[in-house]
Amino acid sequence: MESGTAHPKATLLVVDDEPDVREVLEEYLLSHGYGVVAAESARSARELAAQQPIDLALVDIHMPGEDGLSLARHLRERYPRIAIIMLTSAATVVDRIVGLEMGSDDYVSKPFDPRELVARVRSVLRRTSSTRRAEIGAQRVRMGRCVLDVEAHRLVDESGADVPMSSLEFDLLKALAEHPNRPLSRERILNLTQQRDWDPFDRSVDLRVMRLRKKIEPDPEHPRFIRTVRNEGYIFVPGGA
The CATH number given to whatever domain includes residue 213 is 1.10.10.10
Any bridge partners for residue 154, and if so which?
149
The CATH number of the domain where 71 resides is what? Answer: 3.40.50.2300
Q: Residues 69, 98: contact at Cβ < 8 Å? A: yes
Residue 190 located in a structural domain: yes
* 3-class SS letters over the chain: CEECCCCCCCEEEEECCCHHHHHHHHHHHHHCCCEEEEECCHHHHHHHHHHCCCCEEEEECCCCCCCHHHHHHHHHHHCCCCEEEEEEECCCHHHHHHHHHHCCCEEEEECCCHHHHHHHHHHHHHHHCHHHHHHHCCCEEEECCEEEECCCCEEECCCCCECCCCHHHHHHHHHHHCCCCCCECHHHHHHHCCCCCCCCCCCHHHHHHHHHHHHHCCCCCCCCCEEEECCCEEEECCCCC
State residue 202's pLDDT score: 61
Residue 226 located in a structural domain: yes
Domain residues for 206? 132-236
Same domain, 54 and 153: no
Distance, in Å, from the CA atom of 177 to the CA atom of 62, rounded to the nearest integer, reads 36
Residue 100 has pLDDT above 70, yes or no: no
Same domain, 7 and 61: yes
- Count the Cβ atoms, other than its own, within 10 Å of residue 51: 10
Same domain, 117 and 139: no
Same domain, 26 and 106: yes
Q: Give residue-wise pLDDT tens across range 51-91.
A: 888 999 999 988 999 988 899 988 888 887 788 998 887 55
Angle at 113 between CA 206 and CA 30, to 5 degrees: 105
The percentage of the chain sitting over the pLDDT mark of 70, rounded to a whole number, equals 82
Same domain, 151 and 78: no
Q: Which residues, in sequence order, are CB contacts of 199 under 8 Å at separation 6+?
A: none
Residue 241 located in a structural domain: no
Same domain, 161 and 189: yes
State residue 79's pLDDT score: 81
Any bridge partners for residue 235, and if so which?
227
Q: How confident is the model at residue 44 (pLDDT cuts 50, 70, 90)?
A: very high
Same domain, 105 and 146: no
**The model scores a pTM over 0.75:** no
State residue 24's pLDDT score: 92
Where does a domain end: 73, 101, 128?
128
Looking at the 3D structure of the chain, how many domains does it have?
A: 2
State residue 219's pLDDT score: 92
Where does a domain end: 97, 128, 159?
128
Distance, in Å, from the CA atom of 224 to the CA atom of 118, rounded to the nearest integer, reads 39
Same domain, 109 and 142: no
Same domain, 25 and 112: yes
Q: Residues 103, 166: contact at Cβ < 8 Å? A: yes
Residue 187 located in a structural domain: yes
More confident residue, 164 or 203: 164
Same domain, 140 and 203: yes
Same domain, 55 and 170: no
Mean pLDDT, residues 209-238: 92
Residue 108 located in a structural domain: yes
